[in-house]
Structure 1
């Protein structure tokens, strides 16, 4: 939001973490005991350095693996696994091996709790978030074992890990070059405005099918599953998609594609049905913060937008960049809000400070940072306040934020995603237009696009300028997404500034009431303002942290905002 009174965050030291780690079972050997053979030093893994630019023949759980250009250990590519609170982003490859033979698995990993191991055998891990470290595991195959699955993974809720130059040294097993048959009878079993459920008949293989890959448009692999059904999430409403499925075996052979099935996602508000939010900004680190429960009791407001989540150094989220996510004054305020029957949406970013968008190197890493905030409070919605040259006017970071929001929305069913950004008096600026266009192009499925109609640099018709800016946003959303007026309004948010703005524009309680009434008449999704801390009178006080600079009653703007119902 506004730079008024914003402090740049100070770095904080990292907090210690304790994880309960399970040991791994030894590889079972059946039949008669025999001395193991000697492995010859020859790597038998495919795409071990990920230099092909794609994952195959590796497959990753939850569609959480990707190939990145940085950071790498060797060459120009590496694997990134975006571990979430519910998925450790396990990436594995199955290869043919010889029975009763000793193999050496080694690889370079980087991240908080990054693992290397073999299914049914040993594993090892390291905590190396800032540099690659080499891990090595030796194992001996069973007397009748002909395949082995090696893997790397992160740990739940610890963010993205990286792996590179993974090798399995030893003699290869028998060569399987026969591909599975094509899956049959692909059909859609259900759909929503943002997801499609699919099922198909099983493929067959001379050795055995180990998984199925779901594709969109014939070449874009969306996810890999082990069974004969899947749900593809993160789609756009009222949009046609074509899906096919291929089977693969342990040797990495891929079947022909199944029949194609075309599905158009449901029409509607793209997940925003019934989503209405009156949520003024509340900031515990600035401006003599009031008791939120006192404000709630006096005004009837239920939601607050909590400012601000920033980087405490690298891709690590913290309140104001300096206060731990849990256990401090911010959690105390959130607990009080929830105890009074309300809830919060965090504002991630803002005008100033060290932000996560530029500091997290990949969409997966940024999604991992967002996930930490979501998990800390079991959130129903998150808001990314994308501003300034480091995020809003940086096209690489714009796309990173959109892709990260797509990931967390897919991983958190029901989560609402909000983008907040500046505007001109007639609608989005060129960077705002690009943000909206990329949200469509990347299928980010953003629920609410919130504009900040103030600091225009001239003119003081705050009602007229706000309405004109919102109407311009509506027109852009209709053009890009093909929505009607009702659907476009249902994706719009307004976040104003009460009293005097940084550029001396004046929004009085009467004007804010007009804006609230217009917002209700158009049934938009969200109404907010900067900020509750400033929602107190100080006529002639100028632009201040703890008052509005105009004559008003205590919490008058908050009470007006509480009357927004959409």
Structure 2
């Protein structure tokens, strides 16, 4: 069951991989040695910017979703530098795309170059050779006094990497690279782990003719793609010394058609929670641009002064921050499904005295935003464990669905690790009895207890839900899977269960393999700094 204080649960620290070097037949080939060279982590990780003068921006960029902005002033040239292990007496090339007045690119103690005035991104490059005993080099970008903000993107330091102990052995080639899912603007890939004499630190996923995505695990979701387009990928492993394995066998994958929301045919939705009622909600348009996510489940609509819907019982449907956020999401190409209810607070289900009154409250929300779908998060004793309120909610959803052709309805509720409890079973059974025509039954598979197997228990509880839906409605396994969903919890739950990015990737891949209808998690607010869980969820294709 989802409680508000889960927002304060610990955030995961995203592991950042360092780009490496190709080693083939004992010879080091050129590779990008920089950490975070294109700033797609959304942070300055790997870079040291003087006096807080550097920041990450989403526009203007040369490639991908992010770039470096250096705020040069009358007293600060906004120098951003990175120190990299190198080999002695070896040639290197440092290059990148720069924009602004008098933007420098150079190596400390050596050569530099600059662009005097660049209204658009301009490629700049230098070459240098390390000294006979040199094992590290500091490269930098900077502006100049009083010249204003500059931008840098897609930086590269090419040459053989240095490293501890003279390690020159490359990892083995990643095996069995495969596509595990696609959306209109993303492709998800997995592969078998490589081995190394010291240890593999990460992988580079190379899109033919495009950008490289760096990850630490054995899966990745490549975003920013075009709909209905075939792409070709290879994967390389990296070790701590910067050695890069040979490229894997290529794999091709095709993105789906545009859209991705509720409409004719099967209902499929990847929609992580976004909660504007917590102190530091992210700007949703920034999350969309960074990850390609198309849907948010926006929480929570509760009751205000009786049977009137309002965000958190206090913010109006129209004219406030929530409406502004929805407009921004739609302007960025996304959409929302409101979550009505939740664990705590004053809810509409008990406060609206009849199903007709409750349907009227739901209709106010639907009309305010022109919704394609709504989610009723039914929890706690006041709604979930009340037969009268369960039936009131089901009947109200039946009414609004009849009055709004094409509207999709979702019920989200708690679960045991084996599937729905007695109240969950009753909810599903009554939806059939009352002919409520619910599109998706989504469970929250967490809070089973500390140390729980979050992948195994999620699969077991979802299969239990599928079996119940199959039995009640007389469906096949495939038809029942299509009507169920998972709403997980990223990182740590209230019961000290840790759903890591690797586990969430496993859950996403299992969900794709079994073609369930919906995938969500609580919450984007807790998915900082790099939106890792959101990126994984974007790879859900149903």
Instruction: Indicate the TM-score class for this superposition, using the shorter chain for normalisation.
Output: 0.5 to 0.7
Match in the other structure for 1:430:
422
Match in the other structure for 1:89:
none
3-state DSSP of counterpart to 1:391: helix
Maintained 8 Å contact 2:444/2:487: yes
Match in the other structure for 2:219:
none
Aligned counterparts, 1:312-391, within 5 A: 312-391=304-383
CA distance in 1, matches of 2:386, 2:414: 14
Maintained 8 Å contact 2:352/2:358: yes
Over aligned residue pairs, what C-alpha RMSD do you find? 1.6
CA distance in 2, matches of 1:560, 1:477: 27
Unpaired segments ≥5 residues, structure 1: 8-269, 537-552
1:520 counterpart (512, 519, 522): 512
Maintained 8 Å contact 1:4/1:502: no
3-state DSSP of counterpart to 1:515: helix
3-state DSSP of counterpart to 2:452: coil
3-state DSSP of counterpart to 1:5: helix
Moved more, 270-279 or 412-421: 270-279
3-state DSSP of counterpart to 1:488: helix
After TM superposition, the score normalised by the length of structure 1 is 0.50
3-state DSSP of counterpart to 2:435: coil
3-state DSSP of counterpart to 1:317: strand
Aligned counterparts, 1:125-524, within 5 A: 273-524=265-516
CA distance in 1, matches of 2:514, 2:279: 33
Maintained 8 Å contact 2:451/2:496: no
3-state DSSP of counterpart to 1:373: helix
CA distance in 1, matches of 2:456, 2:429: 26
CA distance in 1, matches of 2:264, 2:418: 24
Maintained 8 Å contact 1:6/1:352: no
Give the drift of 1:460.
1.7
Render the CA deviation track for 1:260-315: whole Å, top value 9, x for unaligned.
xxxxxxxxxx9983311100000111041011011111111010000000001210
Moved more, 413-422 or 517-526: 517-526
CA distance in 1, matches of 2:428, 2:321: 35
1:563 counterpart (530, 539, 542): 539
CA distance in 1, matches of 2:323, 2:511: 31
3-state DSSP of counterpart to 2:346: coil
Match in the other structure for 2:213:
none
CA distance in 2, matches of 1:532, 1:374: 23
Render the CA deviation track for 1:161-186: whole Å, top value 9, x for unaligned.
xxxxxxxxxxxxxxxxxxxxxxxxxx
Aligned counterparts, 1:46-195, within 5 A: none
Pair 532,319 (structure 1): closer, same or farther in 2 beyond 3 Å: same
Render the CA deviation track for 1:347-375: whole Å, top value 9, x for unaligned.
00000000000000000000000000000
How many residues are matched?
288
Give the drift of 1:457.
2.8
CA distance in 2, matches of 1:274, 1:476: 20
Match in the other structure for 1:5:
5
CA distance in 2, matches of 1:285, 1:525: 27
Maintained 8 Å contact 2:339/2:374: yes
Match in the other structure for 1:161:
none
Structure 1 runs (4+) greater than 4 angstroms displaced: none
CA distance in 2, matches of 1:315, 1:451: 26
Q: Relative contact order: is structure 1 or structure 2 higher (C-alpha 8 Å, sep ≥ 6)?
A: 2
3-state DSSP of counterpart to 2:333: coil
CA distance in 1, matches of 2:369, 2:4: 27
3-state DSSP of counterpart to 2:432: helix
Unpaired segments ≥5 residues, structure 2: 8-261
CA distance in 2, matches of 1:457, 1:394: 25
After TM superposition, the score normalised by the length of structure 2 is 0.52
CA distance in 2, matches of 1:400, 1:274: 26
3-state DSSP of counterpart to 2:410: strand
